[in-house]
Structure 1
Amino acid sequence: MNALKHISSASDIPDFIKISGASPCEKHSFRTFYDGTVSWAEYAKPYKCKNRIVYLWQPMPTYLNVFFQKFISDQTYGTPFLNLKNTAHLFELMKAVYPTLKKAGLARRRPYETRHTAAVLHIAAHENPLYISHMLGHSVTRLLFEVYAPYVANASRQDGFAFNEMMIERGIA
């Protein structure tokens, strides 16, 4: 995320491109990779190697792969992902993040942390746990209940109420 600090205008946003899986890894490139069973999105990640930078393929994080796999597959090889209008729009969104957080009285946070906030808010809104787990890229709901659920204990202030009402309606209680 340190690279984002150096973006002070829309023209600073690099042209990201899709390249073939057979092409060597290069700066600002993405590809889709298929191992015979699973298709995955990968991006070029820079690594310092002695006195130069080497780009190696890095798998997209699981929670982003669902989005990027489809997006990258739909792109044309060698063509920038964003046109000038979309690049300008992305820059405006990027500029709005921290002032919006400040205005809302919230501390600055890394983008990764916002997924945790989103998970807790979805649980508090009583969204389906399977939906939330899928949105986060989890293959099972166990992690959702172990990590996020404790932050929203009795979120509705009526835990157990719906069950009691159902039992009363059916004449069981």
Structure 2
Amino acid sequence: MSANDLYIHPSANVSDKAIIGAGTKVWINVQIRENAVIGEGCILSKDVYVDHAVKIGSRCKIQNSVSVYSGVEIGDDVFVGPNACFTNDKVPRAFNADWTITPTRIEDGASIGANATIVCGITIGEFAMVAAGSVVTKDVAPYTLVMGNPARAVARIDREGNRVSGDV
């Protein structure tokens, strides 16, 4: 298998209406719904769910048990740690005739730690980092490290995630 080969594990459930880029690896029990677009060179680990019409850029790594729901758009070179949670509904109810998807944008190079919750309607800026377990309820500026519940800015970081300043 060359680096340009698309790999889809036999247990994955991938819609024939999804678009998946060259070199992407789709692992055990992944589900990718119709009209999802996934870039080149991505890794979708065990039990990832990609809802309909989701857009994921190139060279992204989405680890085990992440659900990426409709309305979430992920840029290039994004890392999403295991069990991170994206929401897409500001007022969740079992039945709501007026239900609408609230969009969320994850910019290029951002990193989301394990078990983080990303509340819909926000943007996580380029090369921002969300610490594991954080609950993000508002926009995160580019090159900013946030942590806690609710997440708060604690440092400025560089492209590799190293702290460059405690001033935010």
Common fold by TM > 0.5? no
Asked which structure has the greater RCO (Cα within 8 Å, sep 6+), the reply is 1
Higher Rg: 1
TM range (shorter): under 0.3
Give the strand-richer structure, 1 or 2.
2
Structure-1-length-normalised TM-score: 0.25
State the TM-score, normalized to the length of structure 2: 0.25
